[in-house]
């Protein structure tokens, strides 16, 4: 990873993949701003750490949150070098049970929020002629599975955003890439498995084992694997517009 300290903002940094990304970057000596809705979770992560950090409690689906969070980073540190757009969420439902609320939330958190954070950071990155934007998308951004139409549509959308932004921003020294993991061992996956167990009346471990058996690598990815793949884009100045698939094979 880059040795020069970078100024980084990570959304959804309080648990799962985002927490792991924030910790790896803090441990590497970078200045990291962490956002999520739950302030106490963010504070627990930075407690005892001596390198520069900011905790910015924010709901990324609030249209004002992007401008506010990016402004706080720029005011504190004079710029922003790396933006990691990780906050996201999904719930399973067949199409006829996908309410407008499910659809709107999925688009808001997985697609509109990354767009708004990118839009807010681009002026400072263009001025600096340097930027790294990394989106945690999903294999659902490239493939279709049953019963996740809202999440799949939103993640396909964010992969499109990555590709267009990459083409537009490359001349300013800004790269924009996505990682597209299959299932990862995080609280989000646990929630999905609990919901599937409740829906089918099956045991949690049975549902988990059945899902793992269907995966190409026969296992969930770890948050560490996804974090490392995302962070690796920081040191790849000539790679942009990529959607890197991670399946644990």
For the annotated catalytic residues, the residue numbers are 151
**Which is nearer to ligand NAP, 36 or 107 (by Cβ)?**
36
Among 33, 92, 161, 181, binds ligand NAP (CB under 6 A): 181
Site size toward ligand NAP (CB under 6 A) is: 30
Q: Minimum Å distance from CB 4 to ligand NAP?
A: 27
Interatomic CA distance for residues 186 and 203, integer angstroms: 19
CA dist 96 → 99, 111, 149, 150 (Å): 8, 22, 10, 12
* Chain centroid offset of residue 237 CA: 20
Quote the least distance from Cβ 61 to ligand NAP, whole Å. 5
Select from 23-31, 184-192, 199-207, 231-239 the region that touches ligand NAP (CB under 6 A). 184-192
* Interface of this chain with ligand NAP, residues 42 to 71, rule: CB under 6 A: 58-61
Determine, following the binding rule CB under 6 A, whether residue 117 of this chain makes contact with ligand NAP.
no
Q: Does 86 bind ligand NAP (CB under 6 A)?
A: yes
Query: At 88, phi and psi to the nearest 5?
Result: -170, 170
Residue 63's SS3 state is: coil
Could you give the CA distance from residue 185 to residue 183 in angstroms, rounded to a whole number? 7
Stretch that binds ligand NAP, among 8-16, 25-33, 168-176, 228-236 (CB under 6 A): 8-16
The whole-angstrom separation of Cα 60 and Cα 113 is 6
Interface segment toward ligand NAP; rule CB under 6 A; list 73-81, 159-167, 168-176, 177-185:
177-185
Is 37 near ligand NAP (CB under 6 A)?
yes
Of 10, 18, 169, 208, which one interacts with ligand NAP (CB under 6 A)? 18
CA–CA gap between residue 249 and residue 205 (Å, rounded): 22
Smallest distance, ligand NAP to C-beta of residue 142, A: 11
Query: Could you say whether residue 124 binds ligand NAP (CB under 6 A)?
Result: no
Of positions 186, 193, 207, 234, contacts ligand NAP by CB under 6 A: 186
Task: Output the smallest distance, CB 96 to ligand NAP, in A.
Answer: 23
Q: Which of 70, 32, 69 is nearest to 49 (CA)?
A: 32
CA 156 – CA 143 distance, rounded (Å): 8
Tokens read off for 137? 């998308």
Whole-angstrom Cα distance, residue 240 to residue 134? 10
Q: What is d(CA 73, CA 175) in angstroms, rounded to the nearest whole number?
A: 19
DSSP β-bridge partners for residue 8: 32, 82
Residues within window 199-238 making contact with ligand NAP, judged by CB under 6 A: none
Binding site for ligand NAP (CB under 6 A): 12-18, 36-38, 41, 58-61, 86-90, 109, 136, 138, 181, 183-184, 186-189
């Amino acid at each position: 990873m880059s040795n020069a300290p970078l100024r980084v903002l990570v959304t959804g940094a309080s648990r799962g993949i985002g927490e792991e990304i924030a910790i790896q970057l803090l441990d590497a000596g970078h200045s990291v701003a962490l956002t999520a809705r739950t302030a106490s979770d963010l504070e627990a992560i930075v407690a005892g750490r001596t390198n520069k950090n900011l905790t910015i409690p924010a709901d990324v689906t609030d249209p004002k949150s992007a401008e506010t969070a990016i402004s706080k980073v720029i005011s504190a540190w004079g710029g922003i070098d790396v933006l990691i757009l990780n906050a996201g969420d999904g719930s399973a439902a067949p199409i006829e049970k996908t309410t407008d609320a499910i659809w709107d939330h999925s688009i808001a958190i997985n697609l509109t929020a990354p767009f708004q954070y990118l839009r807010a950071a681009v002026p400072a990155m263009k001025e600096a002629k340097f930027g790294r934007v990394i989106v945690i998308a999903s294999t659902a951004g490239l493939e279709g599975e049953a019963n996740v139409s809202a999440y799949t549509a939103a993640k396909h959308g964010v992969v499109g955003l990555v590709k267009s932004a990459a083409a537009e921003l490359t001349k300013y020294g800004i790269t924009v890439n996505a990682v597209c993991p299959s299932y990862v061992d995080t609280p989000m996956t646990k929630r999905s498995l609990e919901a599937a167990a409740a829906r089918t009346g099956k045991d949690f471990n049975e549902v988990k084992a059945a899902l793992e058996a269907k995966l190409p690598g026969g296992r969930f990815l770890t948050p560490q694997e996804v974090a490392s793949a995302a962070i690796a884009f920081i040191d790849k100045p000539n790679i942009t517009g990529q959607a890197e698939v991670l399946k644990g094979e």
